Amino acid sequence: MNFVALKMLTGDRAKYLSLIFSIAFASFLIAQQASIFTGLMLRTASQIRDVVDAEIWVMDRATQYVDEIRALPDDALYRVRGVPGVQWAVRLFKGQATTRAEDGKFRAVILLGLDDATLVGAPHTMLVGRFEDLRQPNAVIIDRAGYEYFYPRQPLRIGGVMEMNDHRAVIVGICEASAPFATFPVVYTRYSQAINYVGRERDQLSLILAQPAGFGSATDVCNQIEKATGLKARTRNQFTWQTIQYYLQNTGIPVNFGITIAVALIVGTVVAGQTFYIFTLENLKQFGVLKAIGVTNRRLVGMILLQAVVVAAIGYALGMGLAAEFFNITIHRTATRGFVMLWPIMAGTGAIIFSVVVVASLLSVRKVLVLESAIVFRG
């Protein structure tokens, strides 16, 4: 009976291919848009995720996300260091600076000023040079995307000179950093150097990075810091999700991507359901013949579900192949770097597609269940 079901499915080549195309298109669109949405949300917290040396982030109590920060007074660092359970705490500067290359090309960059003594927060994926070289005078490390902007079509090499706020900046290393939300170049330097690159203000301390002592959990230490200092303290994971939540609630990104994914679901459901229903109506006589020779309703339902699963598997595989090829092409481009198709998205898309196709096929099952075998002998 399974062979008969497959022959019925492929008998009408046009409807068979249209089913596969609609499912492949829906699979591709869901996986592609969900992956881009996930990558975009992860970009909003890229600087947080790149700092793996410290578990705790301390900031002004009103801070909502990482890209909008109010500077802290310098004594905040010493108050955090004095909290029981804090093993160590260091300063971190985060801001924007206008950087100009030797040929006059300029661009705003994300500037990260690391603690002079420890360099906590330094990039660990170095392509050229060492992050320890930041201790040299006027030293900066730039991410690969930023280097390719200032020095297009040139091999990665150190020694380039840039200018920030009339101060000299020498590239001593090139790193691989997570793509930021606004796709600005990311530049690392020492804290004392960073405040010269942006111009001095009364308060310069953007954030405090801290590490809990071995006997206390990071969440408990965060609570201790908040009680003792009046500042906001979050673990790295909490601050990441706080930033993502801000963009989810205050931008139109979720709505735009949600509409696209909903359209893909509607197209997949409607087209697959309609095509399956028409397919079943056109094959009522064949199902009547099978009933006449003694095939049970349960077996007929199994045949229809087999047809649905086969079409869903082929369409899903084609859709995932197209999505994978899309990201394979775009992942090496600066503007779309970091956008990848994660396995949970593939699994979720598969579950959605198979559910949609099975439900759509079951809508046509009733016609078969109430079918009388005598239909075979009519006109």
Q: What is the pLDDT of residues 218-269, one digit of tens each?
A: 999 999 999 999 999 999 999 999 999 999 999 888 888 888 888 877 776 6
With respect to residue 11, please indicate whether it lies within any of the assigned structural domains: yes
Instruction: Show the tokens assigned to 83.
Output: 């909290």
How high is the pLDDT of residue 273?
A: 67
Over the stretch 197-221, which tens digit does the pLDDT of each residue have? 887 666 778 999 999 987 678 999 9
**Mean pLDDT for all residues in the chain:** 86
- Could you tell me if 214 and 89 lie in one domain? yes
Asked if residue 276 and residue 219 are part of one domain, the reply reads no
Q: Give pLDDT tens digits for 306-338.
A: 888 888 899 899 999 999 999 988 887 777 787
**128 and 190 belong to one structural domain:** yes
What is the predicted pLDDT for the residue at 332?
76
Euclidean distance between CA atoms 22 and 318, whole angstroms: 11
Report the share of the chain in percent with pLDDT over 90: 43
Buried residues in 3-30 as b, exposed as e (16+ CB within 10 A): eebeebbeebeebbeebbebbbbbbbbb
**Inside any domain, residue 67:** no
Same domain, 87 and 208: yes
Q: What percentage of the chain exceeds 70 in pLDDT?
A: 90
Question: CB neighbours (10 Å) of residue 68?
Answer: 11
User: Between residues 143 and 266, which one has the greater pLDDT?
Assistant: 143
How many structural domains comprise the chain?
2
Lowest mean pLDDT among 73-87, 160-174, 265-279, 349-363: 265-279
This prediction's pTM: 0.81
123 and 218 belong to one structural domain: yes
Point out the domain boundary residue: 230, 260, 282: 230
Please tell me whether residues 129 and 171 are part of one structural domain.
yes
In a domain, 58, yes or no: no
Local confidence band at 299 (pLDDT 50, 70, 90 cut-offs) = confident
pLDDT at 19: 81
Q: What domain range includes position 126?
A: 73-230
pLDDT score of 147: 94
Q: How far apart are CA 263 and CA 101, in angstroms?
A: 45
Mean pLDDT of 86-95: 93
Region 107-116: what's the mean pLDDT? Answer: 94
Does residue 276 lie within any of the structural domains? Answer: yes
Q: Where are the alpha helices (DSSP H) in the chain?
A: 2-11, 13-44, 46-50, 75-81, 144-150, 191-198, 218-229, 236-250, 253-282, 284-292, 297-330, 343-362, 365-369
pLDDT at 372: 63
For residue 54, tell me if it sits in a domain: no
pLDDT of res. 370:
65
Residue 256 sits in the same domain as residue 226? no
- Looking at the fold, whether 196 and 120 belong to one and the same domain comes out as yes
- What would the DSSP string read from start to end of 46-71? HHHHH--S-SEEEE-TT--BTTB-PP
167 belongs to a structural domain: yes
Residue 373: predicted pLDDT: 57
List the one residue out of 20, 7, 17 whose CA is nearest residue 317.
Answer: 20
